[in-house]
Chains A and B, each alone.
Chain A
Amino acid sequence: MLGIAGPNGAGKSTLVRILGGEETPDAGEILLDGATWSVADRRGSVATVHQEPQLFPNLTVTENLLLKRGSGGPLRPRATGRELQVLSELNLQRVADRPLESCSLVVWQLTEIGRALLRDARLFLFDEPNSALTDEESEQLFGHILRMREETNRIVILVSHRLRELVHYCDRVAVVREGACGAILAGAALSEEGLARELVVGQEAGLSKSAAVGAGGPAGDEVLLRLAGWTHRRRRFRDVEVVLRPGEILTVMGVEGSGARELLQSVAGLEPAHGVREVAGRRNADAIDALLAYVPADRRTGLFPNFSIAANLTARLGIPAVASRWGRLLTARLYALGRQLMAQFQIKGRSARQAVDTLSGGNQQKVAVGSASAKQPRLVVIEEPTRGVDLGTKAEIYHQLRQYARDGNAVLAYCTEVPEVFDLAQRVRVMSRGHLSESFEVADAGSVQDLAAQLAKMTESGPRAFRA
C-alpha cells in the first residue's frame, strides 16, 4: 500500500485524477507491468474513492452498486450473488435497501468501495476517504481497505493528510511537493515525525504548540457566550450550559450524530433550538448575527463560487467597510481589504481577483476562515477548522484562531481529531447522545495520547454521569 502526502496545492489531487483517467497528462506515460497504460485501459481498471463520494443519493445502497454493471437486459437489475457477497463483505446488509441520502457518510464511502470491488479494479485510489469521518468510522473503513490489500494483484494508493494513518497503514509514503515527488519514506524512516518534517520543508510555520499557546486563559469578567437550558427542537441535545469568556477557545468533540454539530449550528442561529442564548450580553437575533461569525465544515457551504477571492473575503461586510453610507459599493476599498486579508491569512492565489473556486482546498479553507474574521466578530463558531487541510495550513489556521482569541474574543470549535484539540484549545467538552460533559483543561494532559485517553473516558461515562 502506497501513501501519498503533501501540502495543499502540491498536486496530489491532480495526480489522482491523472491516474484515474479523469485528466490527461501533458507529458510522460504510465507503465503497468512494464507496458504503457492508456486512458481506455485505466477507465476500466482504476477505482477512485473520492473525498466526497460521487454516488446517487436518491437510490438505495444496493441500487448504487448495481448501476455500474453492464447490460442485464431491459429489466430493472437485481442484486445477484456477487453483489450480495460484496454487501456482506462490507457489512452493508443492514442498510442495503435504504436510500443513500438517509445513510451516514461511512456508508457512502463503503458503497463507493463496493462499487470499486465490483468493477474488479486493478488500482484502488483512496483520495482522503475519511476526511469527514470520525475516528471510529475511519478505523472501520481502514479495516476494509486492509482486507482488500490482502488479495493479490491489487494496487492500493492512499492520499491522506493524517500522518498517523499513513504511518500505520502504508508500506511506503511518497511526499509530493510543488508537483514533484520530494521523498519516499519506508521502513524505519516512515514515522510521524519523519513525515511531519518532510511535509513542512520549505514552509515557515511549524506544528509545535509551544510557539503559540501563550494564549492566556480567560481575561476579565465579561461573558462572550452564555447558553442556559439550550435545547434542540428535535432533541439532538438537551439542557446545554456553556459559558465562554474573552481569550478562551473551547472545543466540543463528539461522534457524528452526537448533537455536537447541531449545537454549533444552533449557536449560529442555523438550527432551531430554545433556551437562553446570549452573545456578549445580547439576546436579540440580529444583534447576535452582528457579533458572531460561523464557519461551516464544508467549504462549499461557506464560499461563493461565483465570486473572486477578495469578494469572498469581504462578503460578510457592509457599511461602512465596503460601501458608502448610501449603500454604494466601494470596489477599490473592497479589493484593498481583500488583498490585505489575503496577506494576513497567507492565501496563495495569483491575485485578489482570481475566482475562489480555482484555489486549492486548503486555501479555500483559509478564505472561509478569513471571511469570518474579516467581520471582526466577538465570537467565532467553527466546525472542523482544518478539515482536508495540510500541516502547514493547519498550523497557520490554529495560529490565526489563537491570535484572534488573544485579542479579547472567543472561539467555539467542533473538532473530530484529538491532535487538533490538543493543538488548538484550552478547554474541551464532549458531546455524547445529546449531553455535554464537564470541561477538561487541555493543559492537564501531557500528550495527545493522554488527552485521547481522557476524552475516551469522558465519552464512555455517558449521559448518566452528567445528568447528576
Chain B
Amino acid sequence: MSRLSFLRGIFLRRLSGLIAAIVVTMIVFTSINAFFLTPINLIGLVRSMSTFTIVAFGETLVLVSGELDLSVGATYGIAAMSFGLLWMHGTPLAVALVAGLLVGVLIGVINAWITTVIRVPSFITTLGMLSLVQGVSFLISNSQSINPPSKLPGYAVFEALGSLELPFGIPIQIAWLAAVAALIAFLLHGTLFGFRLAAIGGNLQAARVAALPIRRYKVWVFAIAGACAALAGILDFSFIGSTTPNAGANLTFPVFAAVIIGGASLSGGRGTVLGTLIGAFFLSLLSNGLSLLGVGTFAQLIFVGLVTIGAVALDRWTTTWGGQTQSLQI
C-alpha cells in the first residue's frame, strides 16, 4: 500500500477519468473498425509511442522540479546525429553510443547551469537551446541526412537496438519503454531524490528554507531529461535506419501533451510516471484510431489539439468540483 501511496485521492480520480476516456475511445474505434482492437495494431501502437514517451518521462522529472525543458526535441536529433557521425567516421559502436548519450547529458547540464547559476528562467534557456542545438545539428551534418551502410562494423547490434523482435512478437522498443518507465518511476516515487524533487518544485522558497540541495538536484534532472531524449533519438535512428539534422523537431507537442494530460503541473511539484504513460497512450490511441478511420492529417491535428485542451479543462473542472482534500504527491 505504501508503495502506491502516490496513487490516491484526486490523482486516482484523474487517472480513472483518463482510463474511462481511453475505454470509451477504444469502444468507439473498435465498433467502427474491428482491426483496431487486434494485438497487431495495439502492439504497433505502443511501439510507436515508446520513444516519445521515453522523452516525456524525462520531461516529467523536469516539470516536477518546477522547471521546463523545451530543448528535448533538438537533443533527440543531435544525439542521434552525433552518434551516427562518430560511428560512420570509425569510432567503435559502443564508444559512439556512449558519446551520443553524453551529448544529451551535456546539453542538460548546460541548461541546468544557465538556469540555476545565471538564473535565466528555464523556459528561455531551453527555448534558446532548442534553436542553438538544431543549428549545431545542421552544422555538423552539413545539412545532410545520414544513412549508415550495413557493412559498418557493429551494424547488427545497431539495428537490434531499435528493431529487434523479442519473444511473443514484442518489439524491443516496448522493452526500452518499460525499462525507462520502471527506472524513472522508482527515481521519482521511491527515492529520497524524488521526494525532495517534488518539494523543490512545490515551493522553491520553502526548499531554500529547508536547505535542500536545489542546484545539484536540478542539474541531475536536466541531465536525466537530456539522456532520455538522447536515448529516444538513438533508438528511433536505429529503427528507421537513418536520421536527419532536424529529427525530433515535432516532438515538443506530444511530449508536453502526454505529461500534462498525465497530470503533471506546469507550476511544479506534481507529476507521475504512470500518469505520463497513460497520457501518452491516450494521445497515440487517438492518432492511431483516427488514421484507421481514414481521417486526414489536418483533421487529426485539429482533433488531437482539441482533446489535449479539453482533457486539461475537464480536469480543472472536476478538481474544483470535487474539492481538493488529498495531497497529490506523497
Instruction: Give the contact stretch, choosing among B77-85, B204-212, B308-316.
Output: B204-212
Interface pairs (26), CB distance under 8 Å: A269-B211, A289-B211, A296-B209, A301-B205, A301-B206, A305-B269, A306-B201, A306-B269, A306-B270, A307-B202, A307-B327, A307-B329, A307-B330, A311-B199, A318-B192, A323-B192, A327-B193, A328-B190, A329-B189, A329-B192, A331-B2, A334-B330, A355-B325, A356-B327, A358-B325, A371-B210
Q: Complex formed: what's the CA distance from A353 to B199 in Å?
A: 15
Residue B226 interfacial (CB < 8 Å):
no
Return the chain B residue nearest A292 by Cβ. Answer: B211
Q: Complex formed: what's the CA distance from A270 to B206 in Å?
A: 11
Residue B13 interfacial (CB < 8 Å):
no
Which residue, of B193, B203, B207, has the highest number of chain A Cβ atoms within 10 A?
A: B203
Q: Which B residues are CB-close (under 8 A) to A332?
A: 2
Tally inter-chain residue pairs, CB-CB below 8 A: 105
Q: Which A residues are CB-close (under 8 A) to B5?
A: 331, 353
Residue A354 interfacial (CB < 8 Å):
yes
8 shortest A-B CB distances, which residue pairs? A306-B202, A323-B192, A306-B269, A355-B327, A308-B327, A331-B2, A289-B211, A311-B330
Judge whether A329 and B191 touch: CB under 8 Å.
yes
Q: Which B residues are CB-close (under 8 A) to A268?
A: 209
Residue A319 interfacial (CB < 8 Å):
yes
Q: How far is the CB of B325 from chain A (nearest CB, A)?
A: 6
Query: Contacts A307-B199, A331-B2, A353-B326; is A316 near B211 (CB within 8 Å)?
Result: yes
Q: CB within 8 Å of B: which of A312-357?
A: 315-316, 318-319, 322-323, 327-329, 331-332, 334-335, 353-356
Return the chain A residue nearest B186 by Cβ. Answer: A328
Q: Which A residues are CB-close (under 8 A) to B329?
A: 306-307, 311
Q: Which A residues are CB-close (under 8 A) to B325?
A: 354-355, 358
Q: CB within 8 Å of A: which of B271-330?
A: 324-330
Q: How far is the CB of B112 from chain A (nearest CB, A)?
A: 20
Return the chain B residue nearest A314 by Cβ. Answer: B195
**Would you call the interface of chain A mostly helix, strand, loop, or mixed?**
mixed
A306-B201, A315-B196 given; name 7 further pairs at CB < 8 Å: A270-B208, A289-B211, A306-B329, A307-B202, A308-B327, A323-B192, A371-B210
Residue A53 interfacial (CB < 8 Å):
no
Judge whether B327 and A354 touch: CB under 8 Å.
yes
Q: How far is the CB of B78 from chain A (nearest CB, A)?
A: 31
Q: CB within 8 Å of A: which of B93-110?
A: none
Residue B3 interfacial (CB < 8 Å):
yes
Q: How far is the CB of A21 from chain B (nearest CB, A)?
A: 18
Q: Complex formed: what's the CA distance from A353 to B46 in Å?
A: 35
Query: Contacts A307-B327, A353-B327, A355-B327; is A319 near B192 (CB within 8 Å)?
Result: yes
Number of chain A residues close to chain B: CB under 8 A: 37
Q: Complex formed: what's the CA distance from A328 to B325 in Å?
A: 27
Q: Which A residues are CB-close (under 8 A) to B191?
A: 323, 327-329
Q: How far is the CB of A298 from chain B (nearest CB, A)?
A: 9
Return the chain A residue nearest B268 by Cβ. Answer: A306
Residue B47 interfacial (CB < 8 Å):
no
Residue A240 interfacial (CB < 8 Å):
no
Query: Contacts A354-B327, A358-B325; is A302 near B198 (CB within 8 Å)?
Result: no
Q: Which of B192, B202, B326 contacts A304 (CB 8 A)?
A: B202
Residue A141 interfacial (CB < 8 Å):
no
Judge whether A316 and B202 touch: CB under 8 Å.
no
Return the chain B residue nearest A269 by Cβ. Answer: B211
Q: Which A residues are CB-close (under 8 A) to B195?
A: 311, 315, 322-323, 329
Query: Contacts A316-B211, A323-B192; is A306 near B206 (CB within 8 Å)?
Result: no
Residue B194 interfacial (CB < 8 Å):
yes
Judge whether B326 and A354 touch: CB under 8 Å.
yes
Q: Which A residues are CB-close (under 8 A) to B8?
A: 353
Return the chain A residue nearest B201 by Cβ. Answer: A306
Q: How far is the CB of B67 from chain A (nearest CB, A)?
A: 15
Judge whether B199 and A294 touch: CB under 8 Å.
no
Q: Which A residues are CB-close (under 8 A) to B211?
A: 269, 289, 316
Residue A424 interfacial (CB < 8 Å):
no
Which residue, of B193, B205, B210, B270, has the highest number of chain A Cβ atoms within 10 A?
A: B210
Q: CB within 8 Å of B: which of A103-149?
A: none
Q: How far is the CB of B153 from chain A (nearest CB, A)?
A: 38
Return the chain A residue nearest B203 by Cβ. Answer: A304
Q: Which A residues are CB-close (under 8 A) to B2?
A: 331-332, 335
Return the chain B residue nearest A286 by Cβ. Answer: B211
Q: Complex formed: what's the CA distance from A307 to B206 in Å?
A: 12
Residue A303 interfacial (CB < 8 Å):
yes
Q: How far is the CB of B194 from chain A (nearest CB, A)?
A: 7
Judge whether B327 and A311 touch: CB under 8 Å.
yes
Could you give, for residues 372-410 of chain A, a 1 whenever the CB lies within 8 Å of some chain B CB and a 0 otherwise? 000000000000000000000000000000000000000
Judge whether B203 and A305 touch: CB under 8 Å.
yes
Q: How far is the CB of B5 from chain A (nearest CB, A)?
A: 6
Q: How far is the CB of B265 from chain A (nearest CB, A)?
A: 8
Q: Which A residues are CB-close (under 8 A) to B270?
A: 306
Q: Which B residues are CB-close (under 8 A) to A269?
A: 211
Return the chain A residue nearest B192 by Cβ. Answer: A323
Q: CB within 8 Å of B: which of A424-440?
A: none
Judge whether B209 and A304 touch: CB under 8 Å.
no
Return the chain A residue nearest B8 by Cβ. Answer: A353
Which residue, of B3, B205, B209, has the highest number of chain A Cβ atoms within 10 A?
A: B209
Q: Which B residues are CB-close (under 8 A) to A304?
A: 198-199, 202-203, 206-207, 269
Q: Which B residues are CB-close (under 8 A) to A296?
A: 205, 209
Q: Which of A316, A318, A329, A334 contacts B194 (CB 8 A)?
A: A329
Q: Which B residues are CB-close (under 8 A) to A316?
A: 210-212
Q: Which B residues are CB-close (under 8 A) to A331?
A: 2-3, 5, 330
Q: Complex formed: what's the CA distance from A332 to B5 in Å?
A: 10
Q: How far is the CB of A34 from chain B (nearest CB, A)?
A: 35
Judge whether B326 and A355 touch: CB under 8 Å.
yes
Q: Which A residues are CB-close (under 8 A) to B202?
A: 304-307
Which residue, of A307, A316, A323, has the highest number of chain B Cβ atoms within 10 A?
A: A307
Judge whether B327 and A327 touch: CB under 8 Å.
no
Q: Which of B193, B206, B265 contacts A303 (CB 8 A)?
A: B206
Q: Complex formed: what's the CA distance from A270 to B205 in Å?
A: 10
Q: Complex formed: what's the CA distance from A305 to B194 in Å?
A: 16
